[in-house]
Amino acid sequence: MKVSVVIVSWNVKGDLLACLMSLYENRPQADFQTIVVDNASTDGTVDLLKKHFADVILIANTENRGFAAANNQAIRIAKGQYLFLLNPDTIVHPQSLDNLITVLDEKPTAGACGPRLIDAEGTTHPSVGYVPTFRSLLYSKTFFRSLGIFRSHYKKVTANKLNYDKRSEVEQLSGAALMVRRSVFEDIGLMDEDFFLYYEDADLCLRIRKAGWKIVYVPEAVITHIGGTSSEQIPIGKYIMLYKSLFVYLRKHRGRFATALFSVLFKPAVIIKDILNILSGGIVFIISILLLNRKNMSKSLAKIKRSAVFLAVYSWQFLFET
């Protein structure tokens, strides 16, 4: 078996259906299997698969085990030489899998590769990531951004000089569509199940490179990624999940002591950012009422709600449990 396509799904039946249809319409020339792990969906996903996709190997969990753990369930039973981790909110384009397979076949030092991701409008999505630093996180996720503190460092770390039309070796690729050699998992172990959602792909890519493997961006392979359909079911809760995973990642790769010192500054700075979001959002909302600007009214209300709910419901958990 050349490729095992692994899809983890949670309450996105429509997206999963479109994804599977595109996969089978644009199947690779090599032999492949498809494994879907359903994380206790309540939208009829399991019934859909049993009725219309009998050849799909289905793992139906009775609880939501998270993204990393569910992927591992599939990886353990997969028979493919390569494992293609694919989000359900994606559309596979012609020859995409063939192009990824070719890269791993021809480049034995490549441990993983990933496609060009585009959005629903066909615009290339910046799917090549960077290894976060303490200063880049302080700039990107706290009120320090509004003060311009650490701006130059952030720009240096995130400077995206990648030509998205050219095949390149990169630091990190999105886990929305990532093909990994089976031998890589045998070398470094499976995905870290301490990550429930978010940063599991960053952790995996960093471990791949630390083990001496290369990661390759492959623009000839194209996947449409709608993005966020699972996490949008928990619009505010996803932020606390993101922060939890961020601190798991930092403790693992930057050390517990350094991360603890970082959190003393980072966590209050995030809280201040959300307080400022409420204040600035309120000002914009008032001005928008006076100017009869409905679009800005809606955006400012969403901004206020997001920060207010986070502070009211999750701030204690964020400060003391992440």
Tens of pLDDT along 224-253? 998 755 545 546 778 899 999 999 999 999
**Contact (CB, 8 A) for 96 and 26:** yes
Confidence band, pLDDT 50/70/90 cuts, at residue 86: very high
pLDDT score for 231: 45
Confidence band, pLDDT 50/70/90 cuts, at residue 264: very high
The stretch 164-193 carries a mean pLDDT of: 96
| Share of residues in the chain with pLDDT > 90 (%) | 80
The stretch 286-295 carries a mean pLDDT of: 86
Query: Is residue 291's pLDDT more than 90?
Result: no
Q: Please state, as a whole number, how many other Cβ atoms lie within 10 Å of the Cβ of residue 276.
A: 13
pLDDT score for 227: 74
Average pLDDT, the chain: 93
CA angle 284, 286, 287 (to 5 degrees): 65
Show the domains of the chain with their CATH numbers.
Answer: 3-126+164-232 (3.90.550.10), 255-321 (no CATH)
Q: How far apart are the first and last CA of the chain?
A: 41
Distant-in-sequence, close-in-space partners of 144: CB < 8 Å, separation ≥ 6: 138, 150, 269
Query: Is residue 254's pLDDT more than 90?
Result: yes
Distant-in-sequence, close-in-space partners of 212: CB < 8 Å, separation ≥ 6: none
pLDDT score for 32: 98
In whole angstroms, what is the distance from residue 127 CA to residue 123 CA?
A: 12
**Contact (CB, 8 A) for 136 and 193:** no
The residue whose two tokens read 């397979």 is 101
Q: Which of 95, 86, 83 is nearest to 29 (CA)?
A: 95
Tens of pLDDT along 45-78? 999 999 999 999 999 999 999 999 999 999 999 9
Tens of pLDDT along 14-49? 999 999 999 999 999 999 999 999 999 999 999 999
